[in-house]
Copies of this chain bind each other. A is one copy, B any other.
Amino acid sequence: MATLKDVAKEAGLTTSTVSRVLNNRGYISNNTRKKVGEAIKKLNYHPNEAARSLRMKSTNTIGLIVPHVSHPYFAEMISNMEAFAYENGYKILLCNSQCTHEKEEEYIRMCLSYKVAGIILCSGSAALEVFDGIDIPVITMERFLDNGTASVECDNRQGGVLAAEKLIACGCRHLLHVGRIGTLSMPADMRTEGFKDVCDKKKVPFIELITEDTLYCNMEYSELLESTLSAHPEIDGVFANSDVIAAQTLQVCRKLNISVPEKVKIIGFDDVNIATLTTPQLTTIHQPVKEMSKMAVNMLHDAVAGKLLVRRTVLPVNLIERETT
């Protein structure tokens, strides 16, 4: 079995340089990284992470906790995170909390047991006590945690403002806003605030449809949407809290013979790939998922290195006009 020393000899480098590459510490040139990679491959060397993490304070693994792997927004976020983590020498331990706080708490404990370098939390129902005494960085995405290290959000409030302004400018006078989850409090709730402010100022009434987290977890809003649109035939504009909800609204409108955008206009949120695959294509609020993911990984990397971090980072959103308005 090959040892670290064998790898160093094969690569023509010192063992301390090889060790730096393996542990991803300090400056390492691409050339050096390549040489070490080739030597590892040639000798079929497997560093023993278990032994290493006993010696070291932590592994090069990031615990990524999401509420919902198959939701297109999180799928896109995970994909981006994984790519940026890989670039920075980290691996991802993926935890799917399925929106339950028990599972979220259990996964947080697991991350600590595995000595992850840090946690990126995109789920937020765990009791705060779980985080007590944690000495690794916790970066939150679209969540705010009093005792977290730093958070990355999009400008949810502005998203709500843009949606209301657009629908009203299109002539809508009876609005429906779908998606805030009644049982959870999160930054996405600010979308409702921004939406409400504009509606109040322009004196346009709106119905708010507060959903349950079971709907969110199953991505199944059709029944709720159908009964609401049937009971309120006056509705002429819908602002949905995700593109998944917006796409389902389109299908329900079709079923009820409501033409979009002629009779009802729809605006989604996220701008995931589904938005361009519906007919008509979705007008939506674009979240910079790629930039947000990159920022979260970079922050974690900086936090591990002991750098001072901005506590709360809010990235801009913008309206992408397609065919539902």
Mark A residues whose CB is within 8 Å of B. Answer: 37, 40-41, 44, 46-51, 53-54, 59, 61, 64, 68-70, 72, 75-76, 78-79, 82-83, 86, 91-96, 98, 103, 105-107, 109-110, 112-115, 132-133, 219, 244, 247-248, 250-251, 254, 273-274, 276-279, 281
| Contact A91:B93 (CB < 8 A) given known A75-B69, A274-B277 | yes
Check if B110 sits within 8 Å of A91, measured CB to CB. yes
Task: Name the CB-closest residue of B to A85.
Answer: B96
Question: How many angstroms from the CA of A109 to the CA of B79 in the assembled complex?
Answer: 20
A-B CB proximity, top 5 nearest: A94-B94, A70-B79, A75-B75, A279-B279, A50-B53
* Chain A contact surface mostly: helix
Task: Kindly list 9 other residue pairs between chains A and B, CB separation below 8 angstroms, not including A49-B114, A244-B277, A251-B276.
Answer: A44-B133, A59-B114, A91-B107, A92-B95, A94-B94, A219-B273, A248-B277, A251-B279, A274-B274
A/B interface sample: 23 pairs, CB < 8 A: A37-B106, A48-B113, A49-B50, A61-B93, A68-B79, A69-B79, A70-B78, A70-B79, A70-B273, A79-B96, A82-B96, A83-B96, A92-B93, A92-B94, A93-B94, A94-B94, A247-B277, A248-B277, A251-B277, A254-B279, A274-B277, A277-B277, A278-B278
Q: How far is the CA of A65 from the CA of B113 in the complex (A)?
A: 22
Contact of A70 among B37, B76, B132 (CB under 8 A): B76
| Contacting residues, chain B, for A75 (C-beta < 8 A) | 69-70, 72, 75
Are A72 and B72 touching (Cβ within 8 A)? yes
Which residue of chain B has its CB nearest to the CB of A127? B41
User: Which residues of B have CB within 8 Å of A132?
Assistant: 44
With both chains docked as a complex, state the minimum distance between the C-beta of A31 and any C-beta of chain B, in angstroms. 16
Partner of A93, one of B51, B93, B248: B93
Which residue from chain B places its CB closest to the CB of A74 in the assembled complex? B75
Whether B46 pairs with A109 at a CB distance below 8 angstroms is: yes
- CB atoms of A95 and B91 under 8 A apart: yes
Chain B residues lying within 8 Å of A54, measured Cβ to Cβ, are: 50-51, 54
Check B82 against A94 for contact (C-beta < 8 Å): yes
Centre residue among A70, A219, A248 by max chain B CB count within 10 A: A70
Chain B residue at minimal CB-CB distance from A102? B37
Shortest Cβ distance from A53 into chain B, in angstroms? 4
Please tell me if the beta carbons of A98 and B83 are within 8 angstroms of each other in the complex.
yes
> Within the assembled complex, what's the spacing in Å between the Cα atoms of A259 and B244?
25
Instruction: Identify the closest chain B residue to A114 (Cβ).
Output: B49
- Residues of chain B within 8 A (CB-CB) of A50 are 49-50, 53-54, 59, 114-115
Closest to A63 in B: B91
Please give, as numbers and ranges, the residues of chain B lying within 8 Å of A49 by CB-CB distance: 50, 113-115
List of B residues within 8 angstroms of A93 by Cβ? 61, 91-94
Distance in angstroms between the alpha carbons of A309 and B109 in the assembled complex: 33
Name the B residues within 8 Å of A276 (CB-CB). Answer: 251
Query: Chain B residues with Cβ under 8 A from A281's Cβ?
Result: 251
Complex Cα–Cα for A72 and B83 (A): 17
Q: How far is the CA of A70 from the CA of B293 in the complex (A)?
A: 14
